[in-house]
A and B are shown apart, each in its own frame.
Chain A
Amino acid sequence: MIEIITACGVGMGTSLLLRMYTEDVLEILGIEARVQALDASQARGSRADLILTSPALVDVCSGGKAEVKAIKSFINKDEIRAVLVEFLTSKGLYENSNNE
């Protein structure tokens, strides 16, 4: 199962929201994944496959094993979906059959 981390400054409010929206999108895509909300510094040291965070925190999150992607609007499911589809397709975990 792939592991995704949603990260924000303190790892409480915003990252948890992004986690919930990410889980919603993953469910629609039919992808099973473990999503965890953390603060940016902890996210960097983690062993996840993908870190989703705000553009301002990409630098703080980068440097570890995970791929880091920025989400501009944490509440925009279309944006989250686009980022996830791109990542999953590049890993061969999702086939973009609908040509979205």
Chain B
Amino acid sequence: METVLRITQFIADNIFSQPALLIGMIAMIGLIIQRKSSSDVISGTVKTIVGFLILTKGSDIVVDALLKFTPILQTAFGMEGSLFDAFAGVGLGELIANYGGVAALIMTFGFLLNVLIARFTKAKYIYLTGHLLWWIALVLVAVQLEVNPEASTLSLVVVGSVIAGVYWTLQPAFTQKFMRLITGSDEVAFGHTSASTAWLSGVLGKFVGKPENSTEDIELPKWLSFFRDVTVATAVTIGIVVVIAALVAGPEAVDSGSLNYVVFAILQGFVFAVGIAVLLMGVRMILGEIVPAFRGIAMKIVPGAKPALDAPIIFDYAPTAVLIGFLSAFVVFMICMVIFGAIGWTVIVPPMIMLFFPGGACGVFGNATGGVKGAVLGGVILGLFLAFGQAITVPMLQNTAPALAQLADPDWYIIIWIFKPLIGLVSGLFGG
């Protein structure tokens, strides 16, 4: 008996408290269930663990770059030392390193709940967008920790898994009406955290235009496709924003050491893009091993399930709408950034990936019901949502990982807005 207890204790101390190993273990179980060869199991498990550690480092780079260039933006807008001082030392990397294991458990149990709901109800959707399984799980950890920093692992996992599982099942059901319109079939669903704004774009599109005036009848200049490479687009956009801010703020405001302050500003934009690229590489290595296993399990348990898939799955139905949606979202976001700064409210940072993919999705949804004007409207809705979302939500995650709110899709904001007060209320009622 004592030995059993000791083993359990050892596992709790050394594996469950080490997110990298826990995620590695989940991947290993998945690979074994798929009956992979032993060499595949070993290499897949190692890749997952290494991927997790890469993800943590990437998050550190992103936050570090944010901490370096946000003060420059603040000085440029005359808001020295307000918001970001509070953030020093609180980071996304730290949250992942400490609670990544909890997020991995939410991802696993939330997904299993999704499979069960799909098995026994009419909502036959299985959420297969792997990186969003991960990020939603992490957002739910952050929200709960904001309410109660002492929350137990058990309550974090249970509450997180229930919310995630229900969200992953209902979100695709919500957007399916428009997916039938876009893809012309009922076979795949939309599984992306831009669903709220995409849905709104589809609903409102018909009031501004006609689907007959489709975006696909117009030609866009070829250079615009440069934005399709998100690493390049991120580096260039953030670089330009920081350089302009540095020029406005002046050399004294930029702590660049012996480096020229403009060169320093350009480099910060690039370092930010590096952080994003590293972070994505880590996520990619983890998901490459876990998602195929999840899919295999789900397809066995739920016959006739419809996979809910990543946003770009609809991009080739209307490639021009994608660029129009992105561009209008980008322009609106930049205008908001300048206005928010000019009135001294807050500094927001353009999240290029979130402007591109959700912007593209909103463009396609808007185009499906409102043609060109609908696609433009979709982008406007998203741009406003991301700008106000970031401004409002960053302070809401102040004690955990504000950077999460700077790299968020619309649904993340909605989840935070609903569940932060709700969890607070419930835990207050039960004397938490």
Contacts and interface: CB of A to CB of B under 8 A. Distances in A.
A56 B309 contact: no
B187 A54 contact: no
Interface string A1-31: 0000000111111101101100100000000
Contacts of A57: 228
Contacts of B316: 54-56, 72-73
B231 A14 contact: no
B287 A60 contact: no
Interface stretch (A34-42, A81-89, A90-98): A34-42
B313 A41 contact: no
B280 A56 contact: no
Interface in B273-299: 280-281, 283-284, 287-288, 291-292, 295
A2 to B, nearest CB: 17
B319 A12 contact: no
Contacts of A11: 280-281, 284
B167 interface: no
Nearest to B322: A56
A75 interface: yes
Given A39-B280, A54-B315, A59-B225, A10 B309 contact: no
A13 B228 contact: no
Interface residues of A, number: 28
On chain B, which size bracket covers the interface?
35 or more
B228 A14 contact: no
A35 to B, nearest CB: 10
A17 B187 CA distance: 15
Nearest to A72: B316
B315 A56 contact: yes
B254 interface: no
Given A13-B310, A75-B188, A20 B292 contact: yes
A8 B284 CA distance: 12
A56 B295 contact: no
A10 B356 CA distance: 11
Contacts of B129: 13
A12 B130 contact: yes
Contact of B284 (A12, A20, A72): A12
Interface in B293-342: 295, 307, 309-313, 315-316, 319
A81 B309 CA distance: 20
Residue among B287, B307, B315, B357 with most chain A CB within 10 A: B315
B284 A37 contact: yes
13 contacts: A9-B312, A11-B280, A12-B283, A17-B313, A20-B292, A37-B284, A39-B230, A39-B284, A41-B229, A55-B316, A57-B228, A75-B309, A75-B313
Interface of A: 8-14, 16-17, 19-20, 23, 36-41, 54-57, 59-60, 72-75
Interface of B: 128-132, 187-188, 192, 225, 228-232, 280-281, 283-284, 287-288, 291-292, 295, 307, 309-313, 315-316, 319, 353, 356-357
Please name the 9 residue pairs, one residue from A and one from B, whose CB atoms are nearest each other, closest first. A13-B310, A14-B312, A12-B131, A14-B310, A13-B129, A20-B292, A56-B319, A11-B284, A75-B188
